[in-house]
Every structure is written in structure tokens, then in C-alpha cells.
């Protein structure tokens, strides 16, 4: 039979779906597809934790059916109402008649507004415990991680944490555990997901990590709703990575995000990078002709500075810059410094607009270079010096003595 369940712990099964061709998740480029993880807990009764995206309903159903008939599902827990986890719920209810659908208060409200025609939903409070099928379940609200409705489901006796989006990644894999996959890819996809989905809520992530510790929750398994599952030592690694991502501590790395019309802005970008590198600080050029907005978000998570450059076109900045800066504004990166640059023919409004974007993001600007038409050696020297200035400031912030 196709689409079998995978037992991830005794009587606990992964019954999700793999979205291999997914290339875009609400504006986020997913190079490696994704998975929507649903889990089946089989005790004296049967509990389904989350569902999948609507179009993959049949895949989930077949995996469930490889363990038990659909009509044997007694409870459905909805940890998160976003449609990649709730989309298949209405379809499921045509075949399964659970005694209760369980969600947070906000989850119940959001599910009804999104899916309509749902039966009454059983609301659980933050910290509430329930015995379902002879197994203890504890529910912990994780508001805004990722939506206001989100919650964790914790199985204390099994030491399994169902964490919905938290600790997830858009990474389609056929090997279910993190330790069966390439670690560097896992870390990159985890950072990629964090930057694009959870970065705006970094302060809440830190509070949640503290709370999980205070509650004495020490999972043996973290099973999120996307990508492979953490077990054993990888659980500690995942928590440490999340703490690192959420702290967004400045690093000696600067990204230069730019677009170019006739190559002048690009020449300036390269000269700025040379200045940065001359101070032994890493510079990463991100030309928007080939860099996706979600890549920029991930690169900024690992960087201490963002330098943005745009030519002026029709009295405004290049549309690619407006796109990426609008996106970054929503993601609210913290602890960055900034600088701007750009070339122009006769009016030169773009750099002023770049300044406005960075100011709106509360990123302090430490320098600006403008160039009319094509940069000569003197202008390129100015760009180089801007790079040096950014690099020295980064070293200063990172607590290292300047080289000269």
C-alpha cells in the first residue's frame, strides 16, 4: 500500500504529507519543498494531532488508514489554525466523527472563520491537562508563534512535544528524523524558516524557551509540523539554535543588497565589499536580479549590517528594493546597522528613499554614498571607505579591537 505511517515512538505515528514540488509558501521561496506533519497517538482511544494542506488530504488519510480505520479517530487536536495544518480538517470530518476537536480559544475562533461548518470545538486553556485514551496531554499557548491561536501539545509521560510551526522547516524529506538527514541542510533550512516566519516574534521565542524550561518540559522528541523530527541530542541542539536565532546577536558579517541598471550601482557595491573585506569582516553581495526576498531575510539573520543600494528610476528606487525592504520591515530584524548607496542620472531620489526604509526599520544608518552616472576612482574610494566604516563599526559592536 502507498503512503504508510511511520512510527516515531511507541504508538505514536507520523501521518503527514510531503509536498515535494512546493516552491512558494506565502511569498517565501521553498527550495526543498515542505512537509505538513500530522501525528496519530494510539492509546485506549485515538488522537490525531493536526492535519495537512487540503490538496494532500488523501495522502494523510492513507497513512492514517495504514494504522487504524479513519472512523476510529476519537479526538483531533488543532495546534495551529493556519491552512497548511487545518486545511484537510473539513474533508476529514466527512469520514471521521471525533468526539471532540480540541483547540485554544483563539484557535477555535480562527478555525470557524476559516473553515466554516465545523462542529463545536472544545477549547483548552493555557496549561490545561486532559487525559485522552489513558494518556496525559498538556496544552501550552504559544501566541504569535506562529499565529495568535498557536499552541504546543506536550505528552509528559512520553516526553514528546508537538510544537506546530516552532522548530519547523520547509524541507521535504523521506527520512523522518533530523539525524537521518544532512545536518548542515537542516540547520540552514531551520534558520531559513525562522527568519521568514518567526523572526518578528523573537522576543516571544525567548520568553517561550524560558517558560518551557520553567515548566520542566524536557522533550525526548520535538515533532513539529514541518520537516524532520528532532530526537535525542538533537533536541538540545534545536533549542540552542532557537535561542541563538532569537537573540539576533550582531556578527561580523555585512550583507550588501542591491540592484543595478547599467552596472554603476553594482560597481559601488563591489567597492563597498572590498572595504569591508579589507577589515577582515565578511561581506556578502546579494544582487536582487537573482536573490529571492526570503534569501535576504535569512542572510540578515546571520549578519550585523545591511547595506542597501539602488539606482534611481523614474524618480524612485528600483521596484526590487521596494519589494525586499517592505518584506524585511515586516520581519523586524534586530541589532543591525545600516548604510545606503546608489547611482542616478539627474534626480537621485533612490538613496533618500532607502534611508527612509531603514529608518522605519529602526536600523541606524552610519553612511551614505551617491554617484551621478558612472563612479570614477574617487567615487569608488568613497564607497571603499564606507565599507571600512561599516566593518569597523561592526567590530566595535562585536567587541573587537580595530586593526588600524
Give the active site residues. 26, 80, 82, 84, 146, 165, 193, 226
Site string for ligand FEO, 11-50 (x = CB under 6 A): ----------------------------------------
CA distance 19 to 225: 13
Residues in 76-115 that interact with ligand FEO by CB under 6 A: 80, 82, 84-85
Q: Least CB distance from residue 142 to ligand FEO, whole Å?
A: 11
CA distance 166 to 328: 20
Residues in 176-235 that interact with ligand FEO by CB under 6 A: 225-226
Query: Is 303 in contact with 363 (CB distance < 8 Å)?
Result: no
Q: Least CB distance from residue 165 to ligand FEO, whole Å?
A: 4
Q: Give me the residues paired with residue 258 across strands.
A: 287, 309
Q: Least CB distance from residue 36 to ligand FEO, whole Å?
A: 7
Q: Is 146 in the site for ligand FEO (CB under 6 A)?
A: yes
Q: Give me the residues paired with residue 324 across strands.
A: none
Q: Least CB distance from residue 25 to ligand FEO, whole Å?
A: 8
Q: Least CB distance from residue 240 to ligand FEO, whole Å?
A: 22
Q: Least CB distance from residue 85 to ligand FEO, whole Å?
A: 6
Query: Is 333 in contact with 325 (CB distance < 8 Å)?
Result: no
Considering the complex, state which of residue 167 and residue 258 has its C-beta at the smaller distance from ligand FEO.
Answer: 167
Q: Is 53 in the site for ligand FEO (CB under 6 A)?
A: no
3-state DSSP of 60-123: HHHHHHCCCCHHHEEEEECCCCCHHHHCCHHHHCCCCCCCEEEECHHHHHHHHHHHCCCCCEEE
Residues 6+ apart with CB under 8 A from 308: 256, 257, 258, 321, 325, 338, 339, 340, 341, 354, 357, 358
Considering the complex, state which of residue 85 and residue 336 has its C-beta at the smaller distance from ligand FEO.
Answer: 85
| Nearest Cα residue to 193 out of 84, 274, 112, 114 | 84
Q: Is 165 in the site for ligand FEO (CB under 6 A)?
A: yes
Considering the complex, state which of residue 16 and residue 342 has its C-beta at the smaller distance from ligand FEO.
Answer: 16
Quick one: CA torsion of 66, 67, 69, 75, rounded to 10 degrees? -130
CA distance 253 to 336: 10
Considering the complex, state which of residue 171 and residue 384 has its C-beta at the smaller distance from ligand FEO.
Answer: 171
Considering the complex, state which of residue 146 and residue 336 has its C-beta at the smaller distance from ligand FEO.
Answer: 146
Nearest 5°: the CA angle 288, 292, 296 is: 85
Considering the complex, state which of residue 79 and residue 248 has its C-beta at the smaller distance from ligand FEO.
Answer: 79
Q: Least CB distance from residue 164 to ligand FEO, whole Å?
A: 7
Considering the complex, state which of residue 226 and residue 253 has its C-beta at the smaller distance from ligand FEO.
Answer: 226
Q: Is 295 in the site for ligand FEO (CB under 6 A)?
A: no
> How are beta strands 100-103 and 73-77 bridged, if at all?
parallel
Q: Give me the residues paired with residue 342 across strands.
A: 370
Binding residues for ligand FEO, how many (CB under 6 A)?
A: 9
Q: Tell me, rounded to whole angstroms, the distance of Cα 157 from its chain centroid.
A: 30
Look at the block and give the residue holding cell 539576533.
Answer: 248
| Nearest Cα residue to 326 out of 27, 39, 5, 11 | 27
Q: Least CB distance from residue 139 to ligand FEO, whole Å?
A: 17
| Nearest Cα residue to 177 out of 221, 240, 219, 239 | 221
Q: Give me the residues paired with residue 213 across strands.
A: none
Considering the complex, state which of residue 85 and residue 389 has its C-beta at the smaller distance from ligand FEO.
Answer: 85
DSSP 8-state class, residue 364? P
CA distance 274 to 377: 14
Q: Which residues bind ligand FEO (CB under 6 A)?
A: 80, 82, 84-85, 146-147, 165, 225-226
Amino acid at each position: 500500500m502507498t503512503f504508510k505511517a511511520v512510527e516515531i515512538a511507541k504508538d505514536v505515528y507520523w501521518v503527514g504529507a510531503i509536498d515535494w514540488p512546493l516552491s512558494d509558501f506565502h511569498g517565501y521561496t521553498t527550495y526543498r519543498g515542505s512537509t505538513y506533519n500530522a501525528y496519530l497517538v494510539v492509546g485506549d482511544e485515538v488522537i490525531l494531532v493536526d492535519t495537512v494542506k487540503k490538496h494532500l488530504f488523501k495522502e494523510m488519510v492513507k497513512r492514517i488508514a495504514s494504522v487504524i480505520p479513519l472512523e476510529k479517530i476519537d479526538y483531533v487536536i488543532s495546534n495551529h489554525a493556519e491552512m497548511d495544518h487545518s486545511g484537510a480538517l473539513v474533508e476529514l470530518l466527512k469520514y471521521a466523527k471525533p468526539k471532540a476537536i480540541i483547540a485554544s480559544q483563539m484557535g477555535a475562533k480562527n478555525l470557524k472563520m476559516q473553515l466554516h461548518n465545523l462542529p463545536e470545538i472544545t477549547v483548552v486553556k493555557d496549561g490545561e491537562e486532559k487525559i485522552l485514551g489513558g494518556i496525559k496531554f498538556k496544552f501550552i499557548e504559544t501566541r504569535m508563534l506562529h499565529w495568535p491561536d498557536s499552541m504546543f501539545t506536550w505528552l509528559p509521560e512520553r516526553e514528546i512535544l508537538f510544537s506546530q510551526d516552532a522548530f519547523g522547516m520547509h524541507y521535504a524529506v523521506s527520512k523522518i528524523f533530523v539525524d537521518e538527514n544532512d545536518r548542515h541542510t537542516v540547520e540552514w533550512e531551520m534558520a531559513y524558516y525562522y527568519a521568514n516566519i518567526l523572526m518578528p516574534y523573537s522576543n516571544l521565542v525567548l520568553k517561550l524557551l524560558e517558560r518551557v524550561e520553567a515548566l520542566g518540559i524536557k522533550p525526548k522528541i520535538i515533532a513539529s509540523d514541518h520537516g524532520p523530527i528532532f530526537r535525542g541530542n538533537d533536541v538540545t541542539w534545536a533549542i540552542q539554535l532557537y535561542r541563538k536565532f532569537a537573540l539576533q546577536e550582531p556578527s561580523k558579517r555585512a550583507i550588501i543588497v542591491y540592484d543595478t541598471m547599467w552596472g554603476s550601482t553594482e560597481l559601488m557595491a563591489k567597492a563597498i565589499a572590498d572595504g569591508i573585506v579589507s577589515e577582515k569582516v565578511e561581506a556578502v553581495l546579494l544582487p536582487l536580479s537573482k536573490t529571492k526576498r526570503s534569501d535576504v531575510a535569512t542572510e540578515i539573520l546571520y549578519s550585523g549590517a545591511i547595506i542597501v543600494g539602488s539606482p534611481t528610476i523614474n524618480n524612485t528606487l528600483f521596484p526590487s528594493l521596494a519589494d525586499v525592504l517592505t518584506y524585511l520591515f515586516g520581519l523586524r530584524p534586530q541589532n543591525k546597522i545600516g548604510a545606503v548607496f546608489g547611482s542616478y542620472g539627474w534626480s537621485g531620489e533612490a538613496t533618500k528613499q532607502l534611508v527612509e526604509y531603514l529608518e522605519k526599520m529602526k536600523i541606524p544608518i552610519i553612511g551614505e554614498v551617491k554617484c551621478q552616472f558612472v563612479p570614477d576612482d574617487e567615487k569608488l574610494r568613497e564607497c571603499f571607505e564606507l565599507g571600512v566604516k561599516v566593518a569597523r563599526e561592526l567590530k566595535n559592536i562585536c567587541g573587537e579591537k580595530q586593526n588600524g
